[in-house]
Chain A
């Protein structure tokens, strides 16, 4: 990681929208290649969170790859652990993993399993995979920061379908009760769960009103608008409420034949589809 003079190794590397967009693009390309090599993964969900991850890892999170357990680091949890390939790519871009290792994703005995494992992968804070686990753990982290009077922040991304888990609502209540302003919840609102739309399955709307009613400072943003995401994620929270961001996203965002299709939850693209996806993704960039 190149360090710009006057900045610290713990500072995020990107400056400005184009660098953040490039970071997000690299997350998409890295996950796509890792999933293609592995022959399994969840490309649709990786692409719906890629811009959010790009802004967080590229522009917001203070981390030290040489000390993954640096006590003052910001905490990040990908509660939707099935998007592991995008998290591994983001960690690689911040220097936690060699880029080449991404191609071992889900291989036998790889450190980079199908779901994130903190004891195997540097930079992973807690093991996720079963849904409804990340937010309670994040609430515990933010409670710890509150007890310590620490300045680090906690961010957690949950899938929208995951908001059907009762454990999340237990955690929402308690975070508001404690006034955990250092905690930011980002809901990846791609409106699709494994087999169908969230609204057909067990409706979440009006999700923002529900979060507000639970005592959260709630914002609805375009989950692919890097500038808008940066503005809300980088801004310190001076309120006494935890912050919730409902990020409207598109599953498979960036690849025309994947966008908005539940089938791409865990479908693996063919070699031709990978080539076409790369053209589309890098074409978007130019």
Chain B
């Protein structure tokens, strides 16, 4: 897997959210003996090796069997455990969709679904391994909170919140190394609220996950041209921070959404649905489209305009239309 190496080498101080995920899960499990990890042969790809070493009995590895994995998690929750299901997002959400619907969300099971390596992070492995549909699929389940942390701080805090929250949660844990975007903000994660990373007035960039740092870079580029850019880190896709979105729609000249997912049904879609009813606003929705061509992550980001230049261009286009 060379996908992780596709990030530009010159980038300083980058962090792996999967490491934050693994360390936090171990810390949570030390505090709460009800916490178990459930996986589908994904001990390595989910970074659960440390968890297995610390709590060998509490790592439930069902093998390559995602439907059973999610059903077993529902049963463990019924027995009083707090299962964190950790599996590659395409297989967790795609293969076990009906189990997520019926056994977890409709049954109200206290299970935390952790989709690993989402978006196009598997790069050259192609669309079977890309998880660009997961947000749209999960969003159709109204009662399921959906959280896409942008950096290790958010990942840690979102995991702590998920452990305390009683009910199902979907967490999407990025694979690419990312810069810290929370910048020491405390708290880095507040459920159902976005983080305002820049308070501009001309245009708003709303991103989450791996795309937040891209949005920040684009804001810097636009700022150098005299454009005042608002940047929102929309870590919670569901329920959406309607107040912040409506404020951006009312007080800036348009909204660009950026996500490593299909925007139709994704975060962009959620924002467009809200605004269509409450405050119609000009938008550009950046994300992946259709099955990706063969390519590494950097190539695919470029192809889908999920880059500093691509985001800045979309913002300029939006402003020039006004």
Chain B residues with Cβ below 8 Å from A166 are 67
Chain A residues with Cβ below 8 Å from B76 are 140-141, 143-144
| Secondary structure of the B contact surface, majority rule | helix
Question: What mask results when residues 41 to 83 of chain B are scored 1 for a CB within 8 Å of chain A, else 0?
Answer: 0000000000000000110101101011011111111111101
Partner pick for A174 among B58, B63, B83, CB 8 A cutoff: B63
Partner pick for B79 among A127, A128, A144, CB 8 A cutoff: A144
Question: What mask results when residues 203 to 226 of chain A are scored 1 for a CB within 8 Å of chain B, else 0?
Answer: 000000000000000000000000
- Total contacting residues, chain A, CB less than 8 A: 35
Q: Is the CB of A170 within 8 A of B102?
A: no
Q: Is the CB of A139 within 8 A of B75?
A: yes
Complex Cα gap A171–B68 (Å) = 6
- Total contacting residues, chain B, CB less than 8 A: 30
Q: Is the CB of B78 within 8 A of A126?
A: yes
B residues 67-108 touching A (CB-CB < 8 Å):
67-68, 70-81, 83, 98-99, 102-103, 106-108
A173 shortest CB reach to chain B, Å: 7
Among A75, A126, A145, A173, the most chain B Cβ lie within 10 Å of the Cβ of: A126
Supposing A127-B102, A174-B62 touch, asked if A167 and B71 sit within 8 A by C-beta, the answer is yes
Q: Is the CB of A147 within 8 A of B58?
A: yes
Q: Is the CB of B102 within 8 A of A144?
A: no
The reply on A195 being an interface residue by CB < 8 A is no
Partner pick for A126 among B36, B83, B103, CB 8 A cutoff: B103
Residue numbers of B with Cβ under 8 A of A are: 36, 57-58, 60, 62-63, 65, 67-68, 70-81, 83, 98-99, 102-103, 106-109
Q: Which 7 A-B pairs have the closest CB atoms?
A: A140-B75, A144-B79, A136-B71, A140-B72, A170-B68, A170-B65, A167-B67
14 inter-chain pairs at a CB distance below 8 angstroms, sorted by A residue, are A118-B107, A126-B107, A127-B107, A133-B98, A133-B103, A136-B75, A136-B99, A137-B72, A140-B71, A140-B73, A140-B74, A148-B80, A167-B99, A174-B68
Q: A136-B74, A143-B76, A150-B79 are in contact. List 15 more A-B contacts (CB 8 A).
A: A71-B80, A126-B109, A129-B102, A132-B67, A133-B102, A133-B103, A137-B103, A139-B71, A140-B79, A141-B78, A143-B72, A144-B80, A148-B80, A173-B63, A174-B65
